[in-house]
Structure 1
């Protein structure tokens, strides 16, 4: 038998796993991951994209997104069963934010118009992203 921490209850964990389908944050993360994959793939085909279609980068992206979804699917019920559902939801909100930003960057490259105040914010983020991409490309060579 597996040793579990005192007070841990497998039945509570199973109920938390079933309760995930009622959590709007979990749903939002799963939907945003799919939308990010779609918009990122479309962006890679655009001539103005900084990163073009590349099977290695695409596979790495699929692996990264899949690992995030698996991590959420297994860790959320565990953390919630330990009585830390609020903290687990905070982490999910962070993922929603990160994927939302990524999707908006993808949509910007695809030519979707944004209000000027959002565009200014994205230009600042794009400058930081460009620096990271250049560093990443330099490290790969």
Structure 2
């Protein structure tokens, strides 16, 4: 018989498992790095936009909550491996966004790798050379 204690123990065990899962920690770290780099980029390029910032925070929060709840319920259902795959793709996408923000601040990044990022190209497909926001005289 499953009583309230069993339900609480199940939830507690799942939360402990999530706390020990390093992919979730990495996902959260890359997400925070993306938000941080985006904010720094906005400040340094003098293109800070509260509407875009709020929309971005809502998007990130939604992604975080969806990922945590999705992992929690998928693991209970015995499908934790599928949830882990979803988290890996999330890490890749947030990492991609971090690289885009980094490059849009004009910071060094191999040109060969930048060619794969459409956000760093103009309408004709040519790479945009962003000015380094940390150089003096800007």
TM-score normalised according to structure 1 size: 0.73
Residue 18 of structure 1 and its aligned partner are, at CA, apart by: 1.5
Q: Could you say which structure has the greater relative contact order, defined with CA pairs below 8 angstroms and 6 or more residues apart?
A: 1
Structure 1, unmatched stretches of 5+, are: 1-8, 130-141
Structure 2, unmatched stretches of 5+, are: 1-5, 124-138
Tell me the equivalent position of 2:86: 91
Q: Which has the higher Rg, Structure 1 or Structure 2?
A: 2
* Structure with a larger share of its residues in helix: 1
Residue 14 of structure 1 and its aligned partner are, at CA, apart by: 3.4
Residue 74 of structure 1 and its aligned partner are, at CA, apart by: 1.9
Tell me the equivalent position of 2:116: 121
Evaluate the alpha carbon distance shift between residue 20 and residue 121 of structure 1 in structure 2; reply closer, same or farther with a 3 A threshold.
same
Residue 91 of structure 1 and its aligned partner are, at CA, apart by: 0.3
TM-score normalised according to structure 2 size: 0.75
Number of aligned residues: 119
**How far apart, in 2, do the equivalents of 1:89 and 1:128 lie?**
35
1:14 corresponds to which of 12, 23, 44 = 12
What RMSD over aligned residues (CA atoms) do the two structures have, in Å?
Answer: 2.5
